[in-house]
Structure 1
Amino acid sequence: MTSRLRGCGTALVTPFTTGGVLDEDALRALVDWQIAQGMHMLIPCGSTGEAVTLSAAEHRRVVEITVEQVNGRIPVIAGAGSNDTQKAITLSREMQAIGATHLLHVTPMYNKPPQRALVAHFRAIADACDLPIVIYNVPGRTGVNLEARTCLELAADPRFVAVKEASGSVAQIAAIIRDRPEHFAVLSGDDGLTLAVMAHGGEGVISVVSNVAPGIMVALCEAMERGDLAAARALDTRIAPLIDAAFVESNPIPAKAMLSMMGRMTETLRLPLVPLADVHRPRVRDILLQVGALAS
């Protein structure tokens, strides 16, 4: 697990039963399917996994199950973020104790810390635990952008091994790729920018849509890595409608609807999220059929 992270990683949804409790069997089956489809890494308990509405015990159990099912085959990058640095440290230590290989730490939401405070936050976490850290920049959710210069300041420290970059700014991402140290991976945090980020020299993507179509996203990343741009473009064109559908409402609402249509889990979400609006269902089902993710 010491080599630079690369390829496709799935930001796993968290399955619940119709009664709203963690569906351990569905989670195990999802992890097994992801690995069988060639997934390069798995990321439980991020925003796609509804981490903010999991109890501490549920959060621990989701990561435990993922670690058990993976059984050392690929990295498990456990979400451990918080806008309270001490809570993030406590959770990080727990994720390390149960076997995660890496930690995913999002920029603190709501607090809106300045750039120097972001550096202090991430360094405090790194000082308190021993796992390599993937930084997650998603200003659309957190209200703060981790600027390229700040990301590069952190990247100079080998304890930070990658960034999941979801700023939506290809220029910002390209600046990080251009000046980052050798050990530091740059992963797209937007499915639709995977090809562009890898064309600039990034290593891959942490994906939402790979919950639903893991094989396509894995193949896209592998095509870009071997320099087969024509194959990657064809795969990008094929997956583009599914990416659009996966964000027709707030993530992970559409992804869970899709997985329910595929028979992999219930559509149950935790409030304040609610199931996909009926108006979107015919289109979503048609796109699943179109990309071959759902049998007719």
Structure 2
Amino acid sequence: MTAPLFKGVITALITPLRDGKVDEAAFTRLLERQIAAGVHGVVPMGTTGESASLHPEEHQRVVELCVQIAAGRVRVIAGAGSSSTDKAIDLVRHAKTVGADGALVVTPYYNRPSQAGLAAHFEAVADAVQLPVLLYNVPGRTGVDLANETVARLAVHPNIVGIKDATGDLSRVSWMRANIDGQFDLISGDDPSYLGYHAHGGVGVISVTSNVAPEGMVALHNAAAAGDYASARDWQDRLIDLHKGLFLDNSPSPTKYALSRLGFCTEEVRLPLAPTAEAVKPAIDRAMAAAGL
């Protein structure tokens, strides 16, 4: 079996904002911190990047800027999902044009296609552009679940190389390992259950927590990858409150609050999101302290 194309800690980057505009200086600082901490990849313009709220021109600029700053030091997997197949193809095509290493394509949201529609959507995207595609299944946000059997059908496509599974259902990774032939990158999209996902055979995590604690997430992954689950559990224990705390309000608002406390960016989010509620900020502060931040 060939080595995974995408693995390790892949940060689902926030998009810092200031006075209603993308703060490119803050984005640069955040990305340089991620690279220095040893993350294995980054995702600009995923869910955590507020892709649903930014203008198309902003979306493309952030992806292009990310590729330029990374300069080949880490893999860049561009968020490229849409409820429209044509729009998703355009985003994947742009990602390839600017030099991204892959595209993260979420299941179409709101229109809730059938499994046949989902398969046809992803096949159309993968047929249109020669760029590695990660499927992204997050039914809690999109209202539709990409069934295991549909994933297995899609896994035979040469441009579909893996999945970001944000369901938190650890049985799925075992099913996919048993039912998908050849290399297929199994990536968790759920920080709290990542250690278990890895133990079941996953190879990485697209992480929200690593925005705030990249060194800790890298240490957790590296320990698990080395088979040192005692150390990995120690890191999980340190990070578990942060995993949970960053979802005490609408994501990515708590992550932006935490990063503002560290001096990296403002708390600003784009409507319809609102800044983190004052009532939950003390819990986030405590979680950061527990994680050594």
Shorter-chain TM-score: what band? Answer: over 0.9
Corresponding position of 2:144: 144
Deviates more, 1:238-247 or 1:179-188: 179-188
Whichever residue aligns with residue 115 of structure 1, its letter is Q
Deviates more, 1:264-273 or 1:275-284: 275-284
Equivalences for 1:284-295 in 2 at 5 Å? Answer: 284-293=284-293
Equivalences for 1:265-276 in 2 at 5 Å? Answer: 265-276=265-276
Q: Give the alignment's Cα RMSD to 1 decimal.
A: 1.1
Residue 17 of structure 2 corresponds to residue 16 of structure 1: yes
- Displacement of 1:289 in angstroms is 1.9
Separation of aligned partners in 1, 2:200 and 2:12: 22
Corresponding position of 2:63: 63
Corresponding position of 1:111: 111
Decide whether the 8 Å contact of 1:158 with 1:183 is kept in 2: no
Corresponding position of 1:42: 42
Aligned residue pairs, count: 291
Corresponding position of 1:32: 32
- Displacement of 1:193 in angstroms is 1.1
- Displacement of 1:27 in angstroms is 0.3
Separation of aligned partners in 1, 2:28 and 2:181: 36
Query: For each residue in 1:203-235, what CA deviation from the matched residue of structure 2 results, as whole angstroms up to 9, or x when unmatched?
Result: 011000100000111111111111111111111
Corresponding position of 1:164: 164
Decide whether the 8 Å contact of 1:147 with 1:172 is kept in 2: no
Decide whether the 8 Å contact of 2:186 with 2:203 is kept in 1: yes
User: Unmatched 5+ residue regions in structure 1?
Assistant: none
Separation of aligned partners in 2, 1:54 and 1:273: 12
Separation of aligned partners in 2, 1:174 and 1:3: 17
User: Unmatched 5+ residue regions in structure 2?
Assistant: none
Decide whether the 8 Å contact of 2:13 with 2:211 is kept in 1: yes
Separation of aligned partners in 2, 1:197 and 1:140: 18
Corresponding position of 2:226: 226
- Displacement of 1:266 in angstroms is 0.3
Please identify runs of 4+ aligned residues in structure 1 that moved more than 6 A.
none
Separation of aligned partners in 1, 2:274 and 2:44: 20
Separation of aligned partners in 2, 1:231 and 1:134: 29
Q: What secondary structure is seen at the aligned counterpart in 2 of 1:88?
A: helix
Query: For each residue in 1:87-141, what CA deviation from the matched residue of structure 2 results, as whole angstroms up to 9, or x when unmatched?
Result: 1111111111111110000000011111111110001001111110000000000
Decide whether the 8 Å contact of 2:107 with 2:144 is kept in 1: yes
Query: For each residue in 1:130-168, what CA deviation from the matched residue of structure 2 results, as whole angstroms up to 9, or x when unmatched?
Result: 110000000000011111111111112221111000122
Separation of aligned partners in 2, 1:287 and 1:196: 21
Tell me the TM-score normalised to structure 2 length. Answer: 0.97
Corresponding position of 2:245: 245
- Displacement of 1:172 in angstroms is 2.1
Cα gap change, 1:206 to 1:51, in 2 (>3 Å): same
- Displacement of 1:3 in angstroms is 4.6
Separation of aligned partners in 2, 1:103 and 1:257: 27
- Displacement of 1:41 in angstroms is 0.5
Q: What secondary structure is seen at the aligned counterpart in 2 of 1:52?
A: coil
Whichever residue aligns with residue 134 of structure 2, its letter is V
